[in-house]
Chain A
């Protein structure tokens, strides 16, 4: 017996005996029945996916590309490339125009003579 801070006694021998029983339980776990292990192995074999299963059709093509992440990157890169070819920035040569032999210049003179004020709107006080 051990006196606790709150004045109560604690049966340390009972705790020690319980700990000994736990130790023994850990040291001698129940043996797994062979039939159970056989059923577990049979389940595992029955549900195991086939090794290196080859996918066919569009699923195989999709998987070969790298799945959804790879395909989204491919689509983004294609769109960017198309846009750069169609409307290149001023610093880049217009390759598409040179290839097709077409150069389009647009001169917008509709705003000539108009003084832009206040974000493009004429404000008149009446």
Chain B
């Protein structure tokens, strides 16, 4: 379910279609802070560049942690909404934009996972499809689903740490800041998470088709 908000018909929809067809711009941490400042000063192009650069990363992370496309969309939109709101008061040099955003997303995901457990909706039916075209490669899709199923079975903190480290490619100190934990705790979470994933995937080995790959 999408969050209520301004209408996305018309210009934003056309712009979104155009942006989705363009390659994702590579923006450095300093560049993100500078773009946020430009956004706060009323530069519309800065908003487009930030949205183009940040939305895929946040959505991908939320998808992996929540295993649900609709919830991942809500979390991504909410996190970026908070960024737009805080932009005029953002202090350059105090925090990295992406680290701040990942932290917001992590907290929103934790809230949703807790809510799921309290309402007994912990079981996710099936992982959503990955990028269009991938589903045509059935074996890759099966492997994707297998990884997502194994991730879904991990405890929340382990799943978040593993996704941040091994899929989003963040460093342990960055993950520690995002999860509000020590670096040693993060190392322990990722190590235990990887062990649990290896075990879970071992059981699915045949389904993954590794016997054929050698």
A residues touching B (Cβ–Cβ < 8 Å)? 11, 14-15, 17-18, 21-22, 24-26, 28-53
Contacts of B8 in A (CB 8 A): 35, 38-39, 41-42
Pairwise interchain contact A39-B198, C-beta atoms closer than 8 A: no
**Shortest distance from the beta carbon of B35 to any chain A beta carbon, whole Å:** 11
Determine the main DSSP class of B at the interface with A.
helix
**Shortest distance from the beta carbon of B180 to any chain A beta carbon, whole Å:** 24
Would you call B112 an interface residue if the criterion is a C-beta within 8 Å of the partner chain's C-beta atoms? no
Contact of B194 among A18, A28, A38, A41 (CB under 8 A): A18
Determine the main DSSP class of A at the interface with B.
helix
CA distance A36 to B88 in the complex (A): 24
Known A36-B73, A36-B77; 11 more pairs at CB < 8 Å: A11-B202, A15-B198, A21-B147, A34-B17, A34-B20, A36-B76, A37-B16, A38-B12, A41-B12, A41-B15, A48-B39
Pairwise interchain contact A28-B140, C-beta atoms closer than 8 A: yes
Contacts of B20 in A (CB 8 A): 31-32, 34, 37
Pairwise interchain contact A49-B16, C-beta atoms closer than 8 A: no
7 interchain residue pairs of minimum CB distance: A51-B42, A38-B8, A37-B16, A38-B16, A44-B47, A47-B84, A42-B12
